[in-house]
């Protein structure tokens, strides 16, 4: 059994599309089930290193430790959910072709432990994301996709700059050796490397001030795909960035800077959502806000906080899947994602789903978001960083205002259309809602795993 | 997660909750949502029986959002916005305080919290955060902004729950936290002084706002704020007698507000009118409702011989015992002014000329409206006659939070060594006087003249037209605003302040939203500019 299968199988499934063009949706489900099976197989064998070639600079190393396992299983889960959810969409072969490539890009990003492969998968994931953005094939979609591509290209340039600088100065590309040698480099070069990595990944992890493009992209993207961006893509970049950062053992002031940026990012994003008139944009802002929180929590180098952040990553992915998929149903019926359209639908089921998603994102018990938030705040309290606790709570209040505004808009206005949710969608969305409730009531098992994962992440990739 | 403990204090509040919920179950209501009411009930149980702060917080939040969905069916946009900002904000300050306590003591469990090694600055910060939470829930000024609109706009049944039970969770948490967890030796005296005065100022201002109010439910909402204000004031004295007085007043106020809100709800149900200026003259139409209302307002005003007097008596004696003369004067002032709005309730709804000529067509009040009212009335009358009967319960609570009980264990007698009264004697004397006066009026009745219809008052000098508002409760309380101080109180409102905050955030949001519409070229510029700035900073 090799870790390569995680990357090879989905990409192969896409390339072989001509053989089963009309059945790709079923193949996608099968692929994801297969991947889930692999993940289950590897679970008992953690942690795992796999060297494909040892000769530098072409060495390819995959690592599956607790933290990458966490992300791998999360992404496979999300993609499996996505493919099952859309299994009835016969005429949408293009989506499945690209999402499979997208899957392998994201999984590759997580598993790679050498910086050259990280760049390759970074590009694979990004390019498939540009294509996904343009899938609606209208003016908005194309302009969004082109904008995304331009900004993404800038990000790649900076990332490449950072990688080049490291390779020029150290002569190797594996994360573990770079981690060991990083501090032997000249201080100025170190700074430049970190700066280019920060800019490159900062654009992709959507933090201030590098995220001004995001809301437009989300709006141009088909709603269900936006869920994937929010649940998978941004998380993958986030993980890789902090994986590299902790491996390089950056010093405290740099981490502090990232914390401040994260907090600022959170504040500005939530503030922007306050008066937004479009639900999809509001969800995009909310994603930006949550990414800000994650950024700030992951940069704390504290096991409790980071484990809370990992928990939050899972919960946020589930919530955003739920919200975007439900919004997709609303959009199909109302032909718009404006707040007025959102206010006009009638469906007790969807309303409940939205309510659970919002409450969980706000960190309100008894939903899982609360546990994540509590763990993060507890961790900051044990570090004595009460200012951050206060700031997070204060900004969350802004978040609460607009989420509840949406709910009350729907509860109070005249309903114009009744939405009948198909059975499959109903079951899938209920499963997500139940997962959020379950994790809110019985979080201990997952929290323990997150603690292990957090330790692995903070330790970085060790030289072997 | 979810650790519970059965305590005497929890039992009392939970008992009140059960009585209120069960009696309200009988009241007809078209917005009955079993799920939300059960969630609310469960969350209240969670709050009252929690044994750690996280369980308390979970209950607190579930209470907040399940109430939100109950209010959201009838309230308007702005009210809901206010409700959310204040209540979620209050819950977040509670969470902040809990996190601070965790940072200081390393635990969430009540019994493991020890503040002896915590620096006093941190304890003060915790105290202030907790107080903010409680002030929001109990509607202490200036955090009362959400209360009146939410109480008056939610459906009639839920208004009763809000006032009778949910405002009391603030009181419960006060007793729990400041009497049991952070005990008095760690509290700063100036903070307690401020709390005492905030409470009493709240009650004075709310009383005058109530007097000036034309809508029955808004009047009751202001009255609720005022009454909880007394409770907070008396609690901040932190003595045994004051704690017993606060508990007594909590019980009384719960039943008074249950009775009054349902009483008004019944009138609204049959007449579809909410305002005093469109009601009036319903005495002969609904005599039973009138009598129940009178029982309620006598208790609300704290007049002998009903239950309200017992609790007010304890409040006064507790203030006297601690030599808080100024506070006592303020409480008495507010209490005396409360007569005016109590009278307005009687007057505006039941007495005078009916404003609406169609009163005859109003249907009967369904019997189910009487269940909570009669429950309330029976308890209030009982506590007036045998006020000592629930003292053992209070003494038990005091014992469990570590205070020495001071009230006598009598049945008719209520009081401590400091002062006491005999409820049986009081009610006997009042009963005698009442019967004498009643007999006098019964004799007079034969000689009085009955008008033929509502416009048959031409002997006043002039024949009124049908559209003239003949109800002399109309506009009552307006004359009060000629008094300088009261005019000032009435004209001030925190509305402008909160409105400004809201506008500020809206404007900020507009500005930041613009940023998110940058074109790709400008985005590229921003990225390179940011890179350059950071590079420059790094080089330096």
Mean pLDDT score, B270-284: 81
Q: Using a CB-CB distance cutoff of 8 angstroms, which residues of chain A are in contact with residue B89? A: 397
B253 occurs within a structural domain: yes
pLDDT at residue B115, as a whole number? 82
- Please indicate, yes or no, whether residues B414 and B280 belong to a single structural domain of this protein: yes
| Residues B243 and B386 placed together within one structural domain of the fold | yes
Bridge pairing between strands A417-418 and A345-346: parallel
The answer, for A374 touching chain B at a CB cutoff of 8 Å, is yes
Query: Kind and range of the H or E element at A53?
Result: strand A48-53
Residue A114, beta-bridge partner list:
A174
Q: Which helix (H) or strand (E) covers residue B513, if one does?
A: helix B495-515
Q: What confidence tens digit (pLDDT) does each residue in B315-344 have?
A: 988 888 888 888 889 988 888 888 888 888
Nearest to A365 among B57, B80, B538 (CB): B57
Predicted confidence at residue B280, as pLDDT, reads 76
Instruction: State yes or no: cis peptide before B142, omega within 30 of 0.
Output: yes
Domain shared by B136 and B6, yes or no: yes
Closest chain A CA to residue B93: A393
Cα distance between residue A208 and residue A289, in whole Å: 10
Residue B421 lies in a domain: yes
Rounded to whole angstroms, how far apart are CA atoms B463 and B455? Answer: 7
- pLDDT tier at B209 (50, 70, 90 boundaries)? confident
Interface confidence, given as ipTM, is 0.90
Q: What is the pLDDT of residues A184-239, one digit of tens each?
A: 888 888 899 999 999 999 999 989 888 888 988 998 899 999 999 999 999 999 99
**CA A89, CA B419: separation in Å to the nearest integer?**
81
Whether the Cβ atoms of residue A103 and residue A109 lie closer than 8 Å to each other = no
Q: Does residue B74 sit in the same domain as residue B218?
A: no
| Alpha-carbon distance values, A357 to A63, B14, B47, B78, B84 (Å) | 33, 31, 24, 23, 17
The verdict on B160 and B264 lying in the same domain is: no
Please report, for residues A1, A15, A110, the alpha-carbon distance to residue A12 in angstroms, rounded to integers and kept in the order given: 17, 5, 19
pLDDT band at B5 (very low <50, low <70, confident <90, very high): confident
Separation of alpha carbons A198 and A176, rounded Å: 19
- The domain tally of chain B equals 3
Same domain (yes/no): B294, B355: yes
A7 with A106: CB under 8 angstroms? no
pLDDT value for B141:
80
Residue B490 pLDDT greater than 80, yes or no: no
pLDDT at A375 over 90: yes
Residue B473 has pLDDT above 80, yes or no: no
- The beta-carbon neighbor of B509 closest among A199, A275, A412 is A275
**Sign of the torsion formed by the C-alpha atoms of B184, B189, B190 and B192:** positive
Chain B neighbors of A207, CB-CB under 8 A: none
B100: nearest CA partner in chain A: A381
Residues 6+ apart with CB under 8 A from A1: A38, A41, A42
- pLDDT band of residue A269 (cuts 50, 70, 90) is very high
3-state percent helix, strand, coil for chain A, nearest multiple of 5: 80, 5, 15
Q: Which of B187, B210, B239 is the last residue of a domain?
A: B187
Cβ contacts (< 8 Å) between B50 and chain A: which residues?
none
Burial B287-315 (b: 16+ CB within 10 A, else e): eebbebbbbbbbbbbbbbbbbbbbbbbbb
Determine, for residues A390 and B96 on separate chains, whether the beta-carbon distance falls below 8 Å: yes
Do residues A218 and A285 touch, judged by C-beta distance below 8 A? no
Three-class SS of B447-488: CCCCCCCCCCCHHHCCCCCCCCCCCCCCCCCHHHHHCHHHHH
What are the helix and strand counts (H, E) for chain B?
Answer: 20, 2
- Please count the other Cβ atoms lying within 10 Å of the Cβ belonging to residue B498: 17
**A161 interfacial to chain B (CB closer than 8 Å):** no
- Torsion sign over Cα A453, A225, A262, A205: positive
Domain shared by B172 and B226, yes or no = no
State the average pLDDT over residues B467-482. Answer: 67
Tell me the pLDDT band of A326, cut-offs 50, 70 and 90.
very high
* In chain A, domain spans: 256-464
Q: What is the token pair recorded at B371?
A: 């269940």
Per-residue pLDDT at A327: 93
3-class SS of residue A142? helix
Tell me which chain B residues have a C-beta less than 8 angstroms from the C-beta of A340: none
Residue B438 lies in a domain: no
Contact B92 A216 (CB under 8 A): no
Which residue in B has a C-alpha nearest to residue A278's C-alpha? Answer: B513
Chain B contact present for A398, CB below 8 A: yes
pLDDT in tens, B24-34: 888 877 766 88
Residues B216 and B134 in one domain: no
Overall average pLDDT of the B432-454 stretch: 80
pLDDT band at A20 (very low <50, low <70, confident <90, very high): confident
Residue B85 to residue A397, Cβ atoms within 8 A: yes
Show the tokens assigned to B278. Answer: 């469109």
Instruction: Count Cβ atoms within 10 A of the Cβ of residue B511 and give its class: 0-12 exposed, 13-18 middle, 19 or more buried.
Output: exposed
- Burial status of residue B381 (CB atoms within 10 A of its CB: 0-12, 13-18, 19 or more): middle
- Both tokens of B293, joined, read 């209302």
Among A213, A265, A269, A399, the residue to mutate for chain B (most B Cβ within 10 A)? A213
Looking at B393, B408, B425, the residue that finishes a domain is B425
The last residue of one of the domains, among B406, B425, B444, is: B425
Question: CA of A203: which chain B residue's CA is closest?
Answer: B527
End-to-end, the C-alpha distance of chain B in Å comes to 50
- Residues B296-316: pLDDT tens digits? 988 888 887 888 888 888 898
Whole-number CA gyration radius for chain A: 21
Chain B hits for A209, CB-CB cut-off 8 Å, are 526, 530
Residue A213 sits at the chain B interface (C-beta within 8 Å): yes
**Residue B408 and residue B286 in one domain:** yes
Give B57 to chain A, closest Cα distance, Å: 8
Q: Pick the residue of A343, A361, A408, A439 with the most B CBs within 10 A to test the interface with B by mutation.
A: A408
Residues of A with Cβ-Cβ distance to B524 under 8 angstroms: 150-151, 154
Report yes or no on B414 lying in a domain: yes
B516 and A203 within 8 Å at the Cβ level: the answer is no
Q: In this structure, are residues B359 and B13 in contact, taking their beta carbons and an 8 Å threshold?
A: no
Q: Which residue of A has its CA nearest to B57?
A: A365
* Domain membership of residue B404 as a residue range: 188-425
Q: Is the pLDDT of residue B489 over 80?
A: no
In a domain? residue B85: yes
- Summarised one tens digit per residue, pLDDT across range B56-65 is 999 999 999 9
How crowded is residue B403: how many other Cβ atoms within 10 Å of its Cβ?
Answer: 19
The angle at the Cα of B442, spanning B439 to B443, to the nearest 5 degrees, equals 90
State how far the Cα of B219 lies from the Cα of A205, in Å rounded to an integer: 53
Of the candidates A203, A380, A401, which has its C-beta nearest B527's C-beta? A203
Residue B132 belongs to some domain of the structure:
yes
pLDDT for the residue numbered B31: 66
Option in A158, A212, A411 nearest B518 (CB) = A212
Burial tier of B26 (Cβ tally within 10 Å: 0-12, 13-18, 19+)? middle
Judgement on whether residues B415 and B506 belong to the same structural domain of the protein: no
With CB atoms and an 8 Å threshold, state whether A404 touches B76.
no
Asked whether residue B493 is assigned to any structural domain, the reply reads no
What does B166-182 look like in DSSP terms, one character per residue? Answer: IHHHHHHHHIIIIIIIS
- Shared-domain flag, residues B131 and B20: yes
Could you tell me which of B10, B23, B14 has the C-alpha nearest to residue B378? Answer: B23
Q: Helix, strand, or coil here: B135? A: helix
Percentage of chain A with pLDDT > 90? 57
Give kind and range of the element (H or E) at residue A281: helix A279-298
In a domain, B254, yes or no: yes
Confidence of residue B472 (pLDDT cuts 50, 70, 90): low
Same domain, B211 and B141: no
């Amino acid at each position: 059994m090799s870790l390569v299968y995680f990357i090879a199988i989905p990409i192969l499934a896409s390339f072989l599309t001509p053989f089963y063009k009309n059945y790709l949706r079923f193949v996608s489900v099968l692929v994801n089930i297969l991947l889930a099976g692999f993940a289950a197989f590897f679970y008992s064998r953690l942690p795992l290193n796999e060297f494909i070639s040892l000769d530098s600079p072409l060495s390819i190393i995959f690592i599956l430790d607790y933290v990458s396992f966490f992300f791998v299983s999360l992404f496979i889960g999300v993609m499996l959910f996505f493919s099952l959810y859309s299994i009835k969409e016969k005429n949408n072969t293009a989506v499945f072709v690209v999402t499979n490539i997208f899957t392998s890009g994201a999984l590759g990003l997580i598993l790679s432990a050498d910086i050259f492969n990280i760049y390759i998968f970074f590009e694979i994931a990004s390019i498939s994301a540009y294509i996904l953005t343009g899938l609606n094939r209208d003016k908005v979609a194309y302009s969004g996709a082109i904008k995304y591509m331009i900004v993404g290209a800038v990000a790649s340039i900076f990332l490449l700059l950072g990688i080049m600088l490291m390779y020029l100065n150290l002569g190797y590309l594996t994360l573990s050796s770079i981690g060991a040698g990083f501090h032997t480099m000249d201080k100025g070069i170190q700074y430049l490397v970190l700066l280019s990595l920060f800019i490159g990944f900062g654009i992709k992890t959507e933090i201030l001030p590098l995220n001004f493009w995001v809301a437009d992209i989300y709006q141009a993207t088909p709603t269900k795909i936006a869920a994937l961006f929010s649940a998978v893509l941004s998380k993958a970049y986030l993980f890789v960035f902090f994986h590299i950062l902790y491996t390089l053992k950056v010093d405290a002031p740099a981490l502090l800077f990232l914390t401040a940026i994260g907090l600022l990012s959170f504040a500005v994003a939530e503030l922007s959502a306050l008066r937004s008139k479009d639900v999809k944009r509001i969800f995009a802002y909310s994603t930006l806000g949550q990414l800000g929180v994650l950024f700030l929590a992951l940069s704390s180098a504290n096991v409790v906080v980071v484990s809370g952040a990992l928990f939050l990553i899972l919960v946020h992915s589930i919530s955003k899947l739920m919200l975007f998929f439900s919004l997709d149903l609303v959009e199909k019926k109302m032909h718009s994602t404006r707040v007025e359209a959102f206010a006009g639908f009638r469906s007790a089921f969807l309303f409940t789903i939205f309510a659970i998603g919002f409450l969980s994102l706000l960190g309100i018990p008894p939903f899982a978001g609360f546990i994540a938030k509590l763990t993060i705040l507890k961790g900051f309290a044990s570090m004595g960083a009460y200012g951050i606790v206060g700031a997070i709570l204060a900004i969350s209040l802004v978040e609460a205002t607009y989420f509840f505004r949406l709910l009350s808009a729907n509860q109070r206005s005249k309903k114009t259309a009744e939405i009948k949710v198909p059975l499959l969608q109903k079951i899938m969305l209920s499963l997500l809602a139940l997962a959020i409730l379950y994790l809110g009531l019985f979080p201990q098992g997952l929290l323990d795993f997150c603690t292990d994962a957090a330790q692995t992440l903070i330790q970085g990739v060790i030289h072997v | 997660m979810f650790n519970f403990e059965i305590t005497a204090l929890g039992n009392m509040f939970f008992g009140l909750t059960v009585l209120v919920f069960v009696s309200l179950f009988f009241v007809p209501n078209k917005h009955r949502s079993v799920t939300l009411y059960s969630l609310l009930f469960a969350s209240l149980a969670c709050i009252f029986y929690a044994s750690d702060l996280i369980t308390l917080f979970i209950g607190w939040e579930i209470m907040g959002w399940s109430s939100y969905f109950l209010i959201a069916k009838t309230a308007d946009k702005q009210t809901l916005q206010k409700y959310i900002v204040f209540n979620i904000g209050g819950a977040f300050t509670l969470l902040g305080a809990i996190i601070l306590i965790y940072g200081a003591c390393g635990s969430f469990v009540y019994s493991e919290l020890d503040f002896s090694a915590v620096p006093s600055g941190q304890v003060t910060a915790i105290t202030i955060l907790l107080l903010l939470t409680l002030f929001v829930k109990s509607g202490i000024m200036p955090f009362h902004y959400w209360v009146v609109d939410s109480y008056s706009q939610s459906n009639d049944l839920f208004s009763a729950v809000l006032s009778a039970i949910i405002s009391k969770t603030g009181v419960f948490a006060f007793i729990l936290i400041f009497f049991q967890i952070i005990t008095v030796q760690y509290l700063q005296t100036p903070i307690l002084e401020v709390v005492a005065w905030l409470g009493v100022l709240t009650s004075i201002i709310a009383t005058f706002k109530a007097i000036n109010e034309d809508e029955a439910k808004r009047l009751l909402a202001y009255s609720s704020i005022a009454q909880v204000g007394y409770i907070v004031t008396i609690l901040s004295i932190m003595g045994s007698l004051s704690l017993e007085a606060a508990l007594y007043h909590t019980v009384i106020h719960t039943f008074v507000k249950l009775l009054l809100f349902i009483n008004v709800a019944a009138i609204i149900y049959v007449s579809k009118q909410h305002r005093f200026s469109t009601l009036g003259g319903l005495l002969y139409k609904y005599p039973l409702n009138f009598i129940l209302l009178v029982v309620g307002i006598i208790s609300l005003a704290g007049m002998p011989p009903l239950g309200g007097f017992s609790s007010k008596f304890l409040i006064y004696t507790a203030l006297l015992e601690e030599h808080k003369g100024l506070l006592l004067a303020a409480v008495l002032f507010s209490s005396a002014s409360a007569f005016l709005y109590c009278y307005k309730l009687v007057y505006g709804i039941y007495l005078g000329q009916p404003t609406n000529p169609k009163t005859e067509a109003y249907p009967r009040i369904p019997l189910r409206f009487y269940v909570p009212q009669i429950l309330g009335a029976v308890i209030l009358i009982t506590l007036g006659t045998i006020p000592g009967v629930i003292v053992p319960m209070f003494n038990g609570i005091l014992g469990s939070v570590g205070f020495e009980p001071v009230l006598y264990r009598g049945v008719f007698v209520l009081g401590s060594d400091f002062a006491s009264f005999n409820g049986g004697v009081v009610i006997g004397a009042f009963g005698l006087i009442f019967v004498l006066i009643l007999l006098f009026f019964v004799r007079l009745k034969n000689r009085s003249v009955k008008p033929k219809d509502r416009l048959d008052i031409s002997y006043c000098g002039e024949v009124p037209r049908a559209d003239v508002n003949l109800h002399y409760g109309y506009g009552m309380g307006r004359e009060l605003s000629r008094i300088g101080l009261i005019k000032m109180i009435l004209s001030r409102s925190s509305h402008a302040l909160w409105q400004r905050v809201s506008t500020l955030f809206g404007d900020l949001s507009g500005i930041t939203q613009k940023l998110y519409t940058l074109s790709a070229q400008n985005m590229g510029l921003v990225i390179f500019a940011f890179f350059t700035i950071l590079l420059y900073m790094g080089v330096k």
